[in-house]
Structure 1
């Protein structure tokens, strides 16, 4: 592998960053993280899964389509003093369809009422606290008929340094959002396309005051797209090295370096990668209800499974 990376140094740097940052949007966020590989949550047969474990194993699923690769990106809220065992602040599935030349990012709302194996019905967002990323993946696979086997976890606070490393990100800010930010510590923010620092982008992604949770997940995806656009603007390997080095120490994944390098080459082989995004549940497929004193979303799962299938395949 060392000889391979030396031979393709320039291409490797661009490929890994464009894959592992761009693939927050167009593939997979990560980097050469082999040092995390040995201790990652493993994939085992379903009969070997202990649903009561603090670190539930990922249940093996057969690929739905050999041309489609799905990865779960979990953003943890680092304000939680026990973030690794705390709550997942966002859950996005990033999908790459090689045959169709397209990438899809789907946000799953935390307040979705789902059946969690071994824990009964509860909010989807509770799966991470109950059994880690493995239980989250297993629940999503069972609920929406998916085949996720890989994951990347990152603290949103870690994104601050990533964004600052690339010189900020440009994001569209609505007039309502701009007015709110001007009153809450960002006096110079105006509506329109605005370049945000890492801390400003984090505040935007965490904004729970304006709109519903649907709006919050839209803002999170907009930050990811901002990173994507900035990386595409600057493919200078020397400029990207600090970003890679930072990511290596702040992102966890169960993907090997060879898997990531292979995926990077496939993504970069596509001249015009089509990108799309969505939120689950879709409009008109859920009802706001109270369940065991929790405000949750009661979902039409069949309708959402059909929509996901249309997006991915």
Structure 2
């Protein structure tokens, strides 16, 4: 989610800043980009013949992971969104992976919930597992501390959403209709699933709704006044293998594509295996998703 915010902030600096203030903001963005940069050993996906280049305006894919830490362990990636961004067609395709999806965990050799890959092997294992599940190359990742994301929303002054049905979740009430949510409420709103008749799919839809609301707020010129505080929050709660130079090029050459977002939703069914709930996705459905996302990347 915050990848969109970083890009939006940089675009605001490029388009709306002036004089010494613009230079100050740009310098702050560069510092933040350096703080959040955390490369991984393997740069090129096994599903690509050659390394992608944002300099060439290549279409790219990004795995966004919302991570909840639990005690002293690394936690689980309870929210996973895949973006395929194509600057040549000025479009982005967004796809949520239900956290309980049963698949092979690459590197463990077992079938398990896809969000457990992060607990077993962190970012690298999660990227490989998602690649194997979708048969789509994953070029970049963005890891987001979900509690830090709430702080960002508060700095933005909250977000506006339209709730499809009334529900209660962890001590908070969400009536049907237009809602203005602070950071904590936005997280609760996007996490509820057991009382949703669509389960994980309904939860994923609310996540996308909050994401779009954040993007709208980040694109508002009035947000410039709070830019420094937002950037400080980003530095402590986001990690990515998008380098500062790549981020700068993306802000210039991928901006239109990021503003034109389409979504695709996976279809499956829930079942219990040995008493544990899983979300089962057929091979035919995986192929449908894979084809759509590879087409967006310009791959066969």
Give TM-score, length-normalised by structure 2: 0.78
Does residue 253 of structure 1 match 2:240? yes
Does the residue aligned with 2:219 lie in a helix, a strand or coil? helix
In structure 1, the residue matched to 2:123 is 133
In structure 2, the residue matched to 1:307 is 289
Does residue 34 of structure 1 match 2:34? yes
Choose 244-253 or 165-174, whichever is displaced more: 244-253
Does the residue aligned with 1:88 lie in a helix, a strand or coil? strand
In structure 1, the residue matched to 2:277 is 295
Deviation at 1:235, TM superposition (A): 5.7
Provide the rounded CA distance (Å) in 2 between the counterparts of 1:237 and 1:250.
20
Deviation at 1:155, TM superposition (A): 1.5
Provide the rounded CA distance (Å) in 2 between the counterparts of 1:241 and 1:13.
15
Deviation at 1:90, TM superposition (A): 0.6
Residue 263 of structure 2 is aligned with which of 247, 270, 277?
Answer: 277
Choose 119-128 or 238-247, whichever is displaced more: 238-247
How many residue pairs match? The answer is 267
Does the residue aligned with 1:264 lie in a helix, a strand or coil? helix
Deviation at 1:171, TM superposition (A): 0.9
Please say if residues 39 and 241 of structure 2, whose CA atoms lie closer than 8 Å, have aligned partners that are also in contact: yes
In structure 1, the residue matched to 2:104 is 115
Does the residue aligned with 1:203 lie in a helix, a strand or coil? helix
Does the residue aligned with 2:172 lie in a helix, a strand or coil? coil
Does residue 90 of structure 1 match 2:79? yes
Query: Could you say if the C-alpha distance between residues 288 and 12 of structure 1 is closer, same or farther in structure 2, counting changes exceeding 3 Å?
Result: closer
Does residue 266 of structure 1 match 2:257? no
Deviation at 1:96, TM superposition (A): 1.0
The 5 Å alignment of 1:165-244 reads 165-177=155-167, 180=168, 184-186=171-173, 190-211=175-196, 212-234=199-221, 237-244=224-231
Deviation at 1:214, TM superposition (A): 1.3
Query: Could you say if the C-alpha distance between residues 118 and 234 of structure 1 is closer, same or farther in structure 2, counting changes exceeding 3 Å?
Result: same
Gaps of 5+ in 1: 1-9, 18-29, 46-57
CA offsets, 1:140-189, max 9 Å, x none?
Answer: 11221111121111121111110010100001112323xx36x9334xx5
Provide the rounded CA distance (Å) in 1 between the counterparts of 2:143 and 2:113.
19
Gaps of 5+ in 2: 1-7, 16-29
When the two chains are superposed, the root-mean-square deviation of aligned CA atoms in Å is 3.0
In structure 2, the residue matched to 1:20 is none
Does the residue aligned with 1:210 lie in a helix, a strand or coil? coil
Query: Could you say if the C-alpha distance between residues 16 and 305 of structure 1 is closer, same or farther in structure 2, counting changes exceeding 3 Å?
Result: farther
Provide the rounded CA distance (Å) in 2 between the counterparts of 1:63 and 1:227.
34
Choose 216-225 or 63-72, whichever is displaced more: 63-72
Provide the rounded CA distance (Å) in 2 between the counterparts of 1:106 and 1:60.
19
Does residue 77 of structure 1 match 2:71? no
Please say if residues 205 and 216 of structure 1, whose CA atoms lie closer than 8 Å, have aligned partners that are also in contact: yes
Residue 104 of structure 1 is aligned with which of 93, 101, 104?
Answer: 93
CA offsets, 1:118-154, max 9 Å, x none?
Answer: 3221111110111011111101112211111211111
